Amino acid sequence: MQVDMKKMAGERAAQYVKDGMIVGLGTGSTAYHMVNAVGQMVKNGLSIRAIPTSSATEAQARELGIPLLTIDELDHVDLAIDGVDEIDPQFNAIKGGGGALYREKVVASLAKEVIWIMDESKLVDKIGAFHLPVEIAQYGAKQAMARMAAFGWNPVLRIKNGETFVTDNGNFIADLHLGAGFNIEQVYGRLSGMLGVLEHGLFLNMCNRMIVGCASGEVRIIENPSK
């Protein structure tokens, strides 16, 4: 029997959403299932308010009748639930495959508790085989790409449907091809504050737990001992 690992993880994570919470709703194909499950819980009487991390999730949540806040209307988030592209045993994650990394990082940073949801393919020994998304300003994008290329990071401007991909914030994405085992702290340090860079997709030790859907049909819950 084929199991839907993303659906299992998303639906399990929704069980952590409780009455009265302000909930960060992530972006992507795994978060999609979590948002659907939360929408069903709201239909059944759950009272929450939510902050979406992208226009796609916002549209989905509205359709489901989940009450939404804007980012300026809140000073904290009780629980943020979102997907990841890769995560290592030290809870270092790459996010932003869907291009929503900036809002995802803002929301997760405000959260008292963070849950990353995924299928088991996202668990890796060392992150970096997946490209690292970096959100860059359109103005001066070529120069920002050159700055990143000078470090040997192999940046590629993201294209979608034949057009340069534009984020919900009106910026471009440079995908860095670093390779598994790159120096995480060095890249993090160099990207933070680099001219032209709004934010990058390194989410280091931010989650309290991972919820992993497995091909066996099991859902693994991995608690972060440092949180």
Residue type, 75: D
Smallest gap, in angstroms, from Cβ of residue 30 to ligand 5RP? 3
Token pair 């001066």: residue = 140
Smallest gap, in angstroms, from Cβ of residue 85 to ligand 5RP? 5
Question: Which of 43, 173 has the CB closer to ligand 5RP?
Answer: 173
Question: Which of 17, 30 has the CB closer to ligand 5RP?
Answer: 30
Smallest gap, in angstroms, from Cβ of residue 96 to ligand 5RP? 5
Smallest gap, in angstroms, from Cβ of residue 47 to ligand 5RP? 26
What is the binding site for ligand 5RP (CB under 6 A)?
26-31, 82-85, 95-101, 104
Provide the 10 A C-beta neighbour count for residue 12: 20
- 199 annotated active-site: no
Q: Cβ neighbours of residue 71 under 8 Å, at least 6 residues apart? A: 51, 103, 106, 107
Question: Which of 46, 100 has the CB closer to ligand 5RP?
Answer: 100
- Which of these is catalytic: 11, 58, 104, 199? 104
HSE-CB for 14 with a 13 A CA cutoff:
20
Q: Distances in Å between the alpha carbon of 227 and those of 112, 169, 210, 212, 224?
A: 11, 31, 12, 18, 6
Rounded CA-CA distance 138/179 in Å is 26
Smallest gap, in angstroms, from Cβ of residue 108 to ligand 5RP? 10
Question: Which of 93, 184 has the CB closer to ligand 5RP?
Answer: 93
Rounded CA-CA distance 67/48 in Å is 7
Question: Which of 115, 148 has the CB closer to ligand 5RP?
Answer: 115
H helix runs in the chain, sequence order:
5-14, 29-43, 55-64, 101-109, 141-150, 184-191
Q: Cβ neighbours of residue 53 under 8 Å, at least 6 residues apart? A: 24, 25, 26, 27, 31, 82, 100, 103, 104, 107
Bridge partners of 94, per DSSP, are 86, 202
Positions marked catalytic: 104
